[in-house]
Structure 1
Amino acid sequence: MKPIVKKMRSDLEIMSTFNTFKQLRPHLTEEDFLEKINRLEKNNGFHLVAVLENNEVKAVAGYRITESLARGKYFYVDDLITNESSRRQGYASVIWDWLVTQAKLEGCEQLHLDSGVHRHDAHRFYLKAGLDISCHHFQMSL
């Protein structure tokens, strides 16, 4: 069966992505995951999508569409994770192509994402996919 990209909306669909999300976001807990996703959807316009093949989650992404004075209307990818057992099988490209197409369909002027400095495999993928390193992102824990 060919992989498909699906917006994950029901509680069961959202929870089916938890184990993949946990691989990138180890601080997440299963008990709070659904509540956090629902809150992000309601308050921040967050969307959760997954690549499914044979009803198995192969990759997930979280994104939102927003606007700023600096960027205009833009598509922000909060999370992009391929399940560890499914890496190097083309699923990242499947979800990436869907995200880029969706950003264009939504009339976004740009697509943005941040990636941890230690994620070298991800950086290679992003550069190959046509992204540029356009800024440094700074943070401070409070």
Structure 2
Amino acid sequence: MTDIPELTIRPATAADVPAIVAMLADDPLGATRESPDDLAPYLTALKRLTDDPNQHVVVAVRADRVVGTLQLTIVPGLSRKGATRSIIEGVRVHAEERGSGLGTRFIDWAVEKSRSENCSLVQLTSDVTRTDAHRFYERLGFSASHVGFKLQL
């Protein structure tokens, strides 16, 4: 059996941005909307996110290499008797790590972090074309309970 180096999930830093953007761009959808050649807007966004205590951008690191990322947003609200919810966004796992269990560890981390923030609901969206991702989220206990809408500005 081959030893697999330990995996660490930690807050993202500016030094992680090139790897994060490369993963965001590494699929047919991301390839059309991400710009790995210009990291300035991503660095500005990470600074804004890092300064907001309700935003958690994390990376998974194995053997000093960023192999995954996700963003967890904590959203206080009035509905559901003033419930706080969390939103999982931008989940990406490096192609070489897919099938390794990293996605499950990421979602488990996000759910546990949501519990620690007293959230009563965790939600996420996934593009309609990502059918493998839909099966993955359903396997982890999520249900496709709503229809989402977006308006490009």
TM-score (norm 2): 0.82
Gaps of 5+ in 2: none
Among candidates 14, 17, 24, match of residue 11 of structure 1: 14
Q: Matched residues in 2 for 1:136 and 1:54: separation? A: 39
How far did residue 98 of structure 1 move? Answer: 0.8
Check the 8 A contact 1:6/1:49 in 2, yes or no.
yes
Among candidates 116, 137, 141, match of residue 130 of structure 1: 141
How far did residue 44 of structure 1 move? Answer: 8.2
TM-score (norm 1): 0.87
Structure of greater Rg: 2
Among candidates 104, 108, 113, match of residue 102 of structure 1: 113
Partner letter of residue 135 of structure 1? H
Q: Matched residues in 1 for 2:111 and 2:49: separation? A: 21
Task: Give me the CA root mean square deviation.
Answer: 1.9
The 5 A counterparts of 1:107-126 are 107-126=118-137
Q: Matched residues in 1 for 2:132 and 2:9: separation? A: 22
- 2:93 is aligned to 82
Matched, 1:22 2:13: no
Give the direction of change, closer, same or farther, for the CA distance of 1:12–1:23 in structure 2 (3 Å limit): same
Give the direction of change, closer, same or farther, for the CA distance of 1:74–1:19 in structure 2 (3 Å limit): same
How far did residue 43 of structure 1 move? Answer: 5.8
